[in-house]
Amino acid sequence: MDPKVALITGVTGQDGAYLSQLLLDKGYEVHGVKRRSSSFNTGRIEDIYEDPHQESARFHLHYGDLTDSTNLIRIVQEVRPTEIYNLAAQSHVQVSFETPEYTANADAIGTLRLLEAIRILGLEKKTKFYQASTSELYGLVQEVPQKETTPFYPRSPYGVAKLYGYWIVVNYREAYGVHASNGILFNHESPLRGETFVTRKITRAAAAIALGRQEKLYLGNLDAKRDWGHAREYVRGMWLMLQQDQPDDYVLATGETTEVREFVRWAFEDAGIPIEFRGEGVDEKGYAKSDGRLLVEIDPRYFRPTEVDLLIGDPAKAKEKLGWMHETSVRELAREMVQADLEVMRHAPIAKDS
Ligand code: NDP
Ligand code: GDR
The protein residue with its alpha carbon nearest to ligand 2, atom 28, reads 224
Convert the chain into a string of H (helix), E (strand) and C (coil).
CCCCEEEEECCCCHHHHHHHHHHHHCCCEEEEEECCCCCCCCHHHHHHCCCCCCCCCCEEEEECCCCCHHHHHHHHHHHCCCEEEECCCCCCHHHHHHCHHHHHHHHHHHHHHHHHHHHHCCCCCCCEEEEEEEHHHCCCCCCCCECCCCCCCCCCHHHHHHHHHHHHHHHHHHHHCCCEEEEEECCEECCCCCCCCHHHHHHHHHHHHHCCCCCCEEECCCCCEECCEEHHHHHHHHHHHHCCCCCCEEEECCCCCEEHHHHHHHHHHHCCCCCEECCCCCCCCEEEEECCEEEEEECHHHCCCCCCCECCECCHHHHHHHCCCCCCCHHHHHHHHHHHHHHHHCCCCCCCCC
323 is a domain residue: no
Q: What would the mean pLDDT of 346-352 be, rounded to a whole number?
A: 70
CATH code of 84's domain: 3.40.50.720
CA 117 to ligand 1 centroid distance, Å: 20
Distance of CA 67 to the CA centre of its chain: 19
Q: What would the mean pLDDT of 173-189 be, rounded to a whole number?
A: 98
| 143 in Cβ contact with 150 (< 8 Å) | yes
> In this structure, which amino acid lies at residue 126?
K
Query: Model-level pTM?
Result: 0.96
Q: Write down the pLDDT at residue 281.
A: 47
279 is a domain residue: yes
Q: What is the pLDDT of residues 250-260, one digit of tens each?
A: 999 999 999 99
> At CA 24, angle to CA 23 and CA 28, rounded to 5?
70
CA 277 to ligand 2 centroid distance, Å: 21
Nearest ligand by distance to the CA of 18 = 1
CA distance 257 to 228: 7
Nearest ligand by distance to the CA of 226 = 2
CA 77 to ligand 2 centroid distance, Å: 36
Pocket flag, ligand 1, residue 94 (CB < 6 Å): no
Domain that holds residue 303: 198-226+258-307+329-345
What is the layout of strands, in order, in the sheet containing 29-34?
Answer: 59-63, 29-34, 5-9, 83-86, 128-134, 180-185, 249-252
Asked whether the predicted pLDDT for residue 349 surpasses 70, the reply is no
Q: Write down the pLDDT at residue 292.
A: 73
For residues 112 and 214, state if they share a domain: no
What are the φ/ψ torsions at residue 241 (nearest 5 degrees)?
-60, -35
Pocket flag, ligand 1, residue 205 (CB < 6 Å): no
Pocket flag, ligand 1, residue 20 (CB < 6 Å): no
185 is a domain residue: yes
For residues 98 and 244, state if they share a domain: yes
CA 202 to ligand 2 centroid distance, Å: 11
Pocket flag, ligand 1, residue 91 (CB < 6 Å): yes
Q: If we measure between CA atoms, which residue out of 195, 184, 199 comes closest to residue 258? A: 199
* Ligand 2 atom closest to 132 (CA): 35
For residues 141 and 263, state if they share a domain: no
The protein residue with its alpha carbon nearest to ligand 2, atom 5, reads 93
CA distance 48 to 299: 39
Count of C-beta atoms within a 10 Å radius of residue 277: 16
For residues 245 and 207, state if they share a domain: no
Radius of gyration of the chain (CA): 21
Q: What would the mean pLDDT of 43-55 be, rounded to a whole number?
A: 88
CA 198 to ligand 2 centroid distance, Å: 5
313 is a domain residue: no
For residues 39 and 129, state if they share a domain: yes
The protein residue with its alpha carbon nearest to ligand 2, atom 13, reads 221
Q: If we measure between CA atoms, which residue out of 304, 247, 263, 33 comes closest to residue 133? A: 247
CATH code of 340's domain: 3.90.25.10
For residues 137 and 212, state if they share a domain: no
Q: 308: pLDDT confidence band, cut at 50, 70 and 90?
A: very high
Residues marked as catalytic: 134, 136, 158
* Ligand 1 atom closest to 102 (CA): 18
Bridge partners, 29 (sequence order): 5
The protein residue with its alpha carbon nearest to ligand 2, atom 23, reads 220
Q: 278: pLDDT confidence band, cut at 50, 70 and 90?
A: low
56 is a domain residue: yes
319 is a domain residue: no
Q: 56: pLDDT confidence band, cut at 50, 70 and 90?
A: confident
For residues 268 and 214, state if they share a domain: yes
Q: 182: pLDDT confidence band, cut at 50, 70 and 90?
A: very high
320 is a domain residue: no
CA distance 110 to 98: 19
For residues 112 and 246, state if they share a domain: yes
For residues 139 and 151, state if they share a domain: yes
For residues 148 and 50, state if they share a domain: yes
Q: What is the number of residues in the chain?
A: 354
Nearest ligand by distance to the CA of 224 = 2
Considering its fold, how many domains does the chain have in total?
2
Q: 282: pLDDT confidence band, cut at 50, 70 and 90?
A: very low
Bridge partners, 345 (sequence order): none
| 1 in Cβ contact with 73 (< 8 Å) | no
Q: What would the mean pLDDT of 238-244 be, rounded to a whole number?
A: 99
For residues 181 and 216, state if they share a domain: no
Q: Write down the pLDDT at residue 258.
A: 98
For residues 207 and 128, state if they share a domain: no
| 30 in Cβ contact with 58 (< 8 Å) | yes
Q: What is the pLDDT of residues 127-160, one digit of tens each?
A: 999 999 999 999 999 999 999 999 999 999 999 9
315 is a domain residue: no
Q: What is the pLDDT of residues 184-217, one digit of tens each?
A: 999 999 999 999 999 999 999 999 999 999 999 9
Mean pLDDT of the chain: 94
Asked whether the predicted pLDDT for residue 287 surpasses 70, the reply is no
* Ligand 1 atom closest to 194 (CA): 3
